[in-house]
């Protein structure tokens, strides 16, 4: 479960109080014809990060710079449903683009009152507008004003009451200037999320850490390595107190891939067996047991992971489309899935492409 | 093939010219009874990084601070051979400790003439003293003065002529202040290494990058994640010009583990399929083909990787002991290997624990 939407120009202008509209996110057009988001005194580098659905791979590498360079399914929910029909995809959890995948754009906002209003406006857009046309096929995924734990707790309850189905959160808050998963800082938030039973989606890259190797390395290096961010999030959480204190918390490693999971489970357990005695980590429960209770993996294509599905745990795996990004196979997702799953029994396929996600996100399909 | 040695106190004092002995590495003893290396105006944090062979895991976490706190096999080659006999290990490639696994300590030396002499002295110790007692069971692994390509080229030829069997090199030179694998900078060195046919051993962690998540994360997090450094090295090299220009170069990812290799091969190939058109990367050869020709994996325990040995390539895998570090199973390596390989056919076991390494390092066993 991982897709993306491009926010239409009026998402914030329609919702912010009059006094905040000027500083809040709005679309400006440059002399060269590029459309950009203006937020406070900063401009986004582009509006359509990697929104290349429908393009040939030989055309990749240049992000769209205007809405009319994207297919409408990127930003119109009715059109999105049609594109999902073409692709044979029933339901897709959509991550934000201008706010970034976990709302970290607002973490950088100078006026934190405005930043809170922007997060809330995005969530209202998500629930009242984007998902409203079909909350099962486009389940509402909300952002948090995570720089303020108290405000985040309030937003969890507010959006849960309005029908939110999941929360997107940074895979690691430390590079964003906040305390780690090992601190007590987030306790009130984990309590609220556990109580409302909303899965936390940690999309890879939301820590803003790019696993690059060198200034002159081609992008293919970090693209190949993005899953190491999810590996870090998994090890970080499994050696933290979070799941011990919150046994019902659910974490989905969005777009992280799954083929590395058995390796990391073994490596974490080996590390725990040998190195737990001198460290402030739980001495009773193996990290792999936490994974099998609290974490879900998510992939687009991962034949290695599919072959290892029973080592991962069949119930831990969900499939994603990643529309409209370049990693997506739209409009050929169903064809790709058919090829990729050709040797997998029907009941396993059904768990991976449908029932696991339906259960995790409580979607009545 | 990955073990470690602790340098005895006279390695450099026995070999440096008189004028350099004072500034060169020598053992000093603190008032509290700790033995440390003094090199120029810096002192090492300890002499016996993780040299815990023979200790119970409940005693880990404190590095030895004196030679008499380590078993003699750490620093005496005759004793090492006896310890290898006890463990049932025939041959082991030993990485340096005070110079660090790829000689990066000397990269930090202020006097670069001294730093070059220190690298050469280590290599002379390695070939003339450590390996001399049995060059097959303790094959000479040399360091390079890699901050100086011309001097490195000379050292490759000098040590190859003296019997060096392999070279230890940083998994990524960029964090150490040097040009990347994507630059032309290293070309003369790759030419020399290709000509002498010495495998390059990239031990994880030699970039000095520690994959930690937070200042307050327990060490178990980065210990579990150290293999991501080898993942980065593999993607970095496979998307670089290195193997295209030097088809006979051999790279061993020392201690990197192997269970993640099939995942990364698939992910690199997918990335190459979709993203090669707009990037300065080879357009004809898939990254996985380079791996299968130029790279070897290395592991201590990795049941996931063993199960995936045919996806990795049976000829790509070597086993290591890691004596005297805490990841080693000494003196129970053979028992551990028996358990770990129990379902593996004899011919596959033989390739992994013996013939692959013998072939790669040209050891007449």
What is the tens place of the pLDDT at every residue in A126-142? 999 999 999 999 999 99
Q: Please tell me the distance in Å from A312's CA to the nearest CA on chain B.
A: 11
The answer to whether the Cβ–Cβ distance between A266 and B302 falls below 8 Å is yes
The answer to whether the Cβ–Cβ distance between A263 and B227 falls below 8 Å is yes
Q: Please tell me the distance in Å from A331's CA to the nearest CA on chain B.
A: 15
Q: What is the largest CA-CA distance in chain A?
A: 63
pLDDT of residue A45: 79
Helix (H) or strand (E) holding A222: helix A219-225
With a cut of 90, say whether residue A60 has pLDDT above it.
no
Return the sign of the alpha-carbon dihedral for residues A210, A215, A219, A222.
negative
pLDDT of residue A49: 76
Contacts of A273 in chain B (CB under 8 A): 57
pLDDT of residue A57: 78
In tens, the pLDDT along A152-170 reads: 999 999 999 999 999 999 9
**Disruptive mutation site among A260, A261, A339 for chain B (greatest number of B CBs within 10 Å):** A260
Q: Please tell me the distance in Å from A113's CA to the nearest CA on chain B.
A: 28
Span B202-228, average pLDDT: 96
Span B84-91, average pLDDT: 95
Cβ density class A66-93: b for 16+ within 10 Å, e for less:
ebebbbebbbbbeebbebbeebbbbbbb
Note the Cα B115 to chain centre separation in Å: 20
Asked which of A57-71, A221-235, A318-332, B178-192 is least confident by mean pLDDT, the reply is A57-71
Q: What is the ipTM score, two decimals?
A: 0.96
Nearest to B233 by CA among A227, A265, A225, A235: A225
The answer to whether the Cβ–Cβ distance between A239 and B228 falls below 8 Å is no
pTM of the full structure:
0.96
With a cut of 70, say whether residue B261 has pLDDT above it.
yes
Contacts of B172 in chain A (CB under 8 A): 213-214
pLDDT of residue B35: 94
Span B154-181, average pLDDT: 98
The answer to whether the Cβ–Cβ distance between B263 and A221 falls below 8 Å is no
With a cut of 90, say whether residue B63 has pLDDT above it.
no
Span B152-160, average pLDDT: 98
The answer to whether the Cβ–Cβ distance between B267 and A213 falls below 8 Å is no
Name the pLDDT band for A65 (thresholds 50, 70, 90). Answer: confident
B282 contacts A66 by C-beta, under 8 angstroms: no
With a cut of 80, say whether residue B138 has pLDDT above it.
yes
The answer to whether the Cβ–Cβ distance between A275 and B214 falls below 8 Å is no
Contacts of B311 in chain A (CB under 8 A): 304
Contacts of A62 in chain B (CB under 8 A): 278
Contacts of A214 in chain B (CB under 8 A): 172, 174, 180-182, 236
Burial tier of B90 (Cβ tally within 10 Å: 0-12, 13-18, 19+): middle
Residue B365 and residue A33: Cα distance in Å, rounded? 70
Nearest to A216 by CA among B179, B172, B185, B238: B179
Name the pLDDT band for A40 (thresholds 50, 70, 90). Answer: very high
Residue of A nearest to B306 (CA): A263
Q: Please tell me the distance in Å from A25's CA to the nearest CA on chain B.
A: 31
Q: Please tell me the distance in Å from B237's CA to the nearest CA on chain A.
A: 9
Contacts of A309 in chain B (CB under 8 A): none
Beta-carbon contacts below 8 Å between A and B = 208
Domains along chain B with CATH numbers: 72-360 (3.20.20.140)
Residue B264 and residue A4: Cα distance in Å, rounded? 24
With a cut of 90, say whether residue B1 has pLDDT above it.
no
B224 contacts A235 by C-beta, under 8 angstroms: yes
Contacts of A264 in chain B (CB under 8 A): 224, 260
Q: Please tell me the distance in Å from A246's CA to the nearest CA on chain B.
A: 18
Share of chain B above pLDDT 70, in %: 99
Strand A35-39 with A26-29, pairing? antiparallel
With a cut of 90, say whether residue B328 has pLDDT above it.
no
pLDDT of residue A327: 82
With a cut of 70, say whether residue B268 has pLDDT above it.
yes
Name the pLDDT band for B60 (thresholds 50, 70, 90). Answer: confident
Contacts of B218 in chain A (CB under 8 A): 182, 239, 279-281
With a cut of 80, say whether residue A365 has pLDDT above it.
no
Share of chain A above pLDDT 70, in %: 99
Contacts of B278 in chain A (CB under 8 A): 60-62
The answer to whether the Cβ–Cβ distance between B264 and A60 falls below 8 Å is no
Name the pLDDT band for A333 (thresholds 50, 70, 90). Answer: very high
Residue B170 and residue B153: Cα distance in Å, rounded? 16
With a cut of 80, say whether residue B61 has pLDDT above it.
no
Return the sign of the alpha-carbon dihedral for residues B93, B231, B57, B61.
positive
In tens, the pLDDT along B18-58 reads: 999 999 999 999 998 899 999 999 998 788 777 778 777 77
pLDDT of residue A151: 98
With a cut of 70, say whether residue B62 has pLDDT above it.
no
B62, B219, B276 member nearest A220 (Cβ): B276
A57, A240, A271 member nearest B223 (Cβ): A271
Q: Please tell me the distance in Å from A36's CA to the nearest CA on chain B.
A: 23
With a cut of 90, say whether residue A48 has pLDDT above it.
no
In tens, the pLDDT along A174-221 reads: 999 999 999 999 999 999 999 999 999 999 999 999 999 999 999 999
Residue of B nearest to A259 (CA): B263
Contacts of B282 in chain A (CB under 8 A): none
Partner residues linked to B152 by β-bridges: none
B183, B220, B224 member nearest A216 (Cβ): B183
Average model confidence (pLDDT) across chain A: 95
A214, A263, A275 member nearest B60 (Cβ): A275
Share of chain A above pLDDT 90, in %: 88
pLDDT of residue A58: 79
With a cut of 70, say whether residue A298 has pLDDT above it.
yes
The answer to whether the Cβ–Cβ distance between A225 and B235 falls below 8 Å is yes
A220, A308, A311 member nearest B272 (Cβ): A220
Nearest to A130 by CA among A104, A165, A102, A181: A165
Residue A316, token pair as written in the block: 């831990």
Span B282-295, average pLDDT: 98
Span B167-182, average pLDDT: 98
CA dihedral A194, A197, A198, A201 (to 10 degrees): 60
């Amino acid at each position: 479960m991982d897709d993306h939407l491009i926010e239409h120009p009026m998402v914030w202008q329609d919702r912010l109080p009059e006094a905040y509209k000027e500083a809040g996110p709005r679309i400006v057009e440059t002399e060269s014809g590029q459309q950009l988001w203006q937020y406070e005194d900063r401009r986004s580098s582009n509006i359509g990060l990697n929104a290349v659905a429908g393009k040939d791979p030989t055309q990749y590498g240049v992000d769209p710079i205007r809405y009319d360079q994207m297919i409408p399914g990127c930003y119109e929910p009715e059109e999105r449903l049609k594109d999902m029909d073409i692709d044979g995809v029933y339901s897709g959890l959509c991550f934000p683009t201008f706010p970034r995948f976990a709302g970290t754009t607002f973490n950088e906002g100078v006026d934190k009152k405005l930043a809170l209003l922007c997060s809330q406006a995005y969530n209202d857009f998500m629930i009242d507008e984007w998902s409203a046309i079909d909350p099962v096929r486009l389940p509402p995924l909300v952002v948090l004003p995570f720089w303020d734990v108290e405000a985040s707790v309030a937003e969890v309850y507010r959006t849960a009451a309005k029908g939110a189905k999941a929360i997107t959160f940074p895979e690691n808050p430390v590079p964003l200037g906040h305390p780690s998963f090992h601190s007590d800082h987030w306790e009130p938030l984990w309590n609220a999320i556990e109580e409302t039973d909303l899965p936390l989606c940690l999309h890879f890259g939301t820590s803003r850490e790019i696993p690059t190797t060198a200034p002159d390395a081609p992008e293919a290096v970090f693209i190949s390595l993005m899953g190491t961010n999810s590996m870090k999030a998994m090890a970080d959480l499994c050696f933290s107190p979070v799941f011990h204190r919150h046994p019902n918390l659910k974490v989905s490693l969005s777009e992280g891939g799954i083929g590395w999971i058995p390796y990391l489970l073994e490596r974490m357990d080996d590390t725990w067996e040998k190195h737990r005695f001198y460290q402030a980590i739980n001495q009773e429960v193996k990290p792999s047991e936490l994974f099998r209770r609290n974490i879900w993996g998510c992939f687009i294509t991962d034949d290695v992971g599919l072959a290892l599905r029973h080592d991962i745990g069949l119930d831990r795996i969900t499939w994603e489309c990643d529309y409209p990004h370049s990693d997506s196979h739209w409009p050929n997702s169903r064809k790709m899935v058919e090829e990729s799953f050709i040797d997998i029994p029907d009941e396993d396929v059904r768990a991976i492409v449908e029932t696991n996600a339906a259960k995790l996100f409580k979607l009545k399909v």
